[in-house]
Amino acid sequence: MSHQISMATTQTQNPDANVYRRLANYRPSLWGDHFLSYSNKSEETIDDLEQVQRLKEEVQRMLMAPIDNLLEKLELIDAIQRLGVSYHFEGEIDEVLQQIHRKHHTCDVQESDDALYTVALHFRLLRQQGYNILRVDISNKFKDNMGNFKESLTNDVKGMLSFYEATHMSVHGEDILDEALKFTTTHLESMAINLSPPLATQVSHALNRPIQKCLPRVEARQYFSIYQENASHNEVLLNFAKLDFNMLQKQHQKELSHISSKTFCNVNDYSSFLLQKYFSTSYT
């Protein structure tokens, strides 16, 4: 530690004993009063809250609509999660994925341009939700008679990227997914220099930091720019996610300002305050 701490002692009179306590003269915070400058003027208006609620209800209706198209439903759930608003729909997402697992357990899609993309996305979303999706469902579909991954897969960049993300859901002993990770990583790295945005940005970001190794809020901020460049993006979901992100950020700023204004006698007081704030927080 580069901070110099000067130690002193103070004697507290006690009818039973003399207690000596150490005092530390810490340097002022590097942040100064930056977080105290939060203004209530930046808080949400009633119109903002009503708009967020309206958009939230629209997203909820889309999420809970009948599964007429498996891929579209999977993409909606994936976008909700990656845009950082899945905490609003945890029950709904669990219910929809339960339906998908029951009716489309093996994701038996026909050979098509989206086959690899669909199967890999289906595998990843169900695996991360805790469903025991077998690795053979994703890998053996795309191997040739020699046991190697089909070279034709490399023509499908979107599918390869989805496959790459899915391989990070492997558990110990799933050698076939480890093999798939090497296969997709090698080919995506060679493809990246020849791709155009937004796919080039998405591939580069994924190779540097796959979804499973990202902090959700940081990933959400990064994903906004990628998602909105996608021609098939859902405008209602994107607007809701942006408003929700900004509102949550303002809430964090307000809480940080409140914490910064507190004077704590010791670390135990500060820890107790944080624990009380944490366990009293609820999301709706």
pLDDT given for residue 103 in this prediction: 83
pLDDT in tens, 35-47: 666 655 556 677 8
Domain that holds residue 186: 46-245
Is residue 131 within 8 Å of residue 97, measured between CB atoms? yes
pLDDT in tens, 75-110: 999 999 999 999 999 999 999 999 999 887 666 665
Pairwise pLDDT comparison (67 vs 270), residue with the higher score: 67
H/E segment holding residue 206: helix 199-208
Is the confidence at residue 254, as pLDDT, over 60? Answer: yes
pLDDT given for residue 77 in this prediction: 98
Is the confidence at residue 173, as pLDDT, over 70? Answer: yes
In a domain, 222, yes or no: yes
pLDDT in tens, 187-210: 999 999 899 888 888 999 999 999
Nearest to 88 by CA among 278, 279, 277, 247: 247
DSSP symbols for the chain: ------EEEEEE--SS--EEEEEE-PPPPTTTTGGGG--GGGSPPHHHHHHHHHHHHHHHHHHHS--S-HHHHHHHHHHHHHTT-GGGSHHHHHHHHHHHHHHSTT--PPSSTTHHHHHHHHHHHHHHTT----THHHHGGGB-TTSSBPGGGGG-HHHHHHHHHHHTT--TT-HHHHHHHHHHHHHHHHHHTT--TTHHHHHHHHHHS-GGGS-HHHHHHHHHHHHHTSTT--HHHHHHHHHHHHHHHHHHHHHHHHHHT---SSHHHHHHHHHHHHHT----
pLDDT in tens, 143-164: 888 889 999 999 999 999 999 9
In a domain, 241, yes or no: yes
> What's the mean pLDDT in 50-76?
96
pLDDT in tens, 265-280: 444 555 565 555 544 4
In a domain, 267, yes or no: no
Is the confidence at residue 236, as pLDDT, over 70? Answer: yes
The domain tally of the chain equals 1
Is the confidence at residue 64, as pLDDT, over 80? Answer: yes
Nearest to 60 by CA among 43, 40, 76: 76
In a domain, 153, yes or no: yes
pTM exceeds cut of 0.95 = no
| Percentage of the chain exceeding pLDDT 90 | 47
> What's the mean pLDDT in 237-252?
91
Tokens of 97: 């994925």
At 266, which amino acid appears?
N
In a domain, 25, yes or no: no
pLDDT given for residue 176 in this prediction: 87
In a domain, 79, yes or no: yes
Is the confidence at residue 9, as pLDDT, over 80? Answer: no
Q: Sorting pLDDT into bands at 50, 70 and 90, what band is 4? A: very low
Is the confidence at residue 281, as pLDDT, over 70? Answer: no
In a domain, 169, yes or no: yes
CATH code, 160 = 1.50.10.130
> What's the mean pLDDT in 46-53?
88
- Residues 173, 228: Cα–Cα separation, whole Å: 38
User: Does residue 198 have a cis peptide bond before it, meaning omega lies within 30 degrees of 0?
Assistant: yes
In a domain, 50, yes or no: yes
pLDDT given for residue 171 in this prediction: 85
